[in-house]
Amino acid sequence: MEKLIITIAPTGNVPTKDMNPHVPLTPEEIAKDIIACHEKGAAVAHIHARDKDGVPTCDVKYFEKTVRLLDEAGCPIVKQISTGARGGKSGEARAEALELNPLSASLSSGSSNFPTSINANEPKLVEYLAKTMLEKNIKPEIEVFDVAMINNAVRLQKEGLIKGPLLFNFVLGVKGSLPATPKNLFFLFESLPPNAVWSVSIIGPQHVNLSVMAMALGGHVRVGIEDNVYYRKGILATNVALVARIASIAQSMGREIATPQDVKKIWGIE
């Protein structure tokens, strides 16, 4: 079976220090956590940015500092920049950090619901982001909150806006979107186009069980305080502990852990 890619999503847009004091918010905190998670087996870092007040931002200077700190530390982890809706409204704002030319970036190929707002991704905005990534040779990771987002990505590939193999991340458990159930995981898995590479981000109490199911199916796993502020009921998470647990389970299953160099091969970008 293919080596397991572990992605660390250390920050996101929602967690605060009041929710979990371990969430990193500054570039220094984020970079430190990513480096520690890489040492435990994470090969990809899904990077969000917060401003000086801890508010989600697309301002490239905050992304740039995190990336620079990782580079200065010699951390080889694959950097994946978020272009998520909470960080900015316009396509131009959400694409600002792509100027850093990361190896990968997130791309939601449709709209969905968040608990108190809309995850708005209108077709023109999606096409703009996809085209920008294509021009910069950045690998899009399609964030799938609903099965239509798989079909939308296939269409974008047919239109020449995304190169194969298509890379998907199933996000299950967000209130307002697909619940985190085995049935929904299998539904999305069975809806994939041929040769797709995929991972899961499971929010909520099922994050270990469904991550293990995904691993058994040949998928990859994203973990981090962005997705789960709790390690288990009553115990707050740290990013390092979340990565270490998945790496330990993978090893128990006999599945090797991918390195950043392995990621490039699996994603077809070498």
Q: How confident is the model at residue 186 (pLDDT cuts 50, 70, 90)?
A: very high
Q: How is residue 50 annotated by DSSP?
A: B
Among residues 110, 202, 179, 186, the alpha carbon closest in space to that of 149 is found at: 110
Among residues 89, 91, 24, 27, the alpha carbon closest in space to that of 64 is found at: 27
Q: Which domains does the chain have, with CATH numbers?
A: 6-267 (3.20.20.70)
H-state helical runs in the chain: 27-39, 60-72, 91-94, 123-135, 148-158, 182-190, 207-216, 239-253, 260-267
Helix (H) or strand (E) holding 16: none
pLDDT digits (tens, 9 = 90+) for 64-116: 999 999 999 999 999 999 998 665 667 788 889 999 999 999 999 998 888 87
pLDDT, the chain, mean:
95
Q: Cα(162)–Cα(160) distance, rounded to whole angstroms?
A: 6
Strand pairing category for 235-236 and 230-232: antiparallel
Instruction: Give the pLDDT of residue 89.
Output: 66
pLDDT digits (tens, 9 = 90+) for 45-70: 999 999 999 999 989 999 999 999 99
Measure CA 67 to chain center: 16
